[in-house]
Chains A and B, each alone.
Chain A
């Protein structure tokens, strides 16, 4: 999934959302999160942006820290975080479905 299409019409690069998506597959520390997000979303999050989003997510109780390993601390998604991610993904899917329907797509293919 790219952050934008060639026409710049799609935006799914909200750092908190991407972090929640990444943590949905298991706990990760900062560098592992950044690598995973780059792999699945094509979005490069710099250290400042990544930790800004981690701070906000932790404040809202959507992720929580685990014990530090060396100076690297892994985070995991909480129950509230999973619920928030599910709601956000449902929203994205609904919007994508509307877009697909209006373009005449069926199952991701042009009808």
Chain B
């Protein structure tokens, strides 16, 4: 195989396997005709990759209206699940940032951030329980799938996620043990080695969460749901999405109130000192939260439209 053909084959990997099987050769031939045998431009590669991702979105039921309402509902629910995992990453960052904030806020201005933080905690619990309930609803279908010999179809993904979990444990347990021997200032940036190790374990945890999410998505896409189970999953996904939107709003309120009444807390500077509201980690956290909440809202919208289509069908 020539380097050019290998490049085209690599580009086709952006498309879902079923699509590649049906249209792959034709698209490769069209690319060769379009480029006259030359190496495709970066722009052409990017547009083909983007089209491949869109095709994956169509196949997953998160784009377009061509798929059956049940597929769209399942796609919307899985999109909410993926968004929730990203949201949990952002939420963990927020929880770390907001640790012990009450003591830094003047008493007269404490009520609003405390209330906002309490709302975040309650809604996170509600959303977490909804995700667990969704897993419980999917359990009978999962058991049927495994009994019908489905394990080989998901084995690779589950084993990969399991290996990532073992890696997190192997790295995380020594880190926790080390943390117990350090003083609070050392744990909060005073020790460069500990800080780097902490960031490394955080990255591993994020990778582990992503791999388990992929395993869950791959599995759920192969499950056979009855109408009632699908409706329950859609309703739970809608609950998660609404909770995420409300958590994002409550986090914004917390941020605004802390930035107004205790900006020193955001920067770890002495009480009474001035500071900008835009602390980089908090900004990044908020951006991820908003993106995840928007994605979940989009997924919930597709679920709602699919439910309406099912009722009218």
Contacts and interface: CB of A to CB of B under 8 A. Distances in A.
Interface string A72-97: 11000000000000000000000000
Nearest to A44: B34
Interface residues of A, number: 21
Given A56-B66, A71-B25, A71-B28, A47 B54 contact: no
A11 B158 CA distance: 48
B124 to A, nearest CB: 38
Given A55-B23, A56-B64, A60-B66, A70 B29 contact: yes
Contacts of A51: 23, 26-27, 30, 51
Nearest to A31: B33
Contact of A34 (B30, B49, B66): B30
User: Is chain A's binding surface mostly helix, strand, loop or mixed?
Assistant: helix
Contacts of A52: 51, 54-55
B231 interface: no
B55 to A, nearest CB: 6
Contacts of A50: 30
Contact of A46 (B19, B47, B52, B54): B47
A14 interface: no
B216 interface: no
Contacts of B19: 55
Interface string B33-59: 110000000001001111110110010
A67 interface: no
A73 B51 contact: no
A74 to B, nearest CB: 10
B119 interface: no
A8 interface: no
B31 interface: yes
A30 B66 contact: no
Name the residue in A31, A46, A50 with the highest tally of chain B Cβ atoms < 10 Å from its Cβ: A46
13 contacts: A30-B33, A31-B33, A34-B30, A46-B44, A47-B27, A48-B51, A51-B23, A51-B27, A51-B51, A52-B51, A52-B55, A71-B29, A73-B26
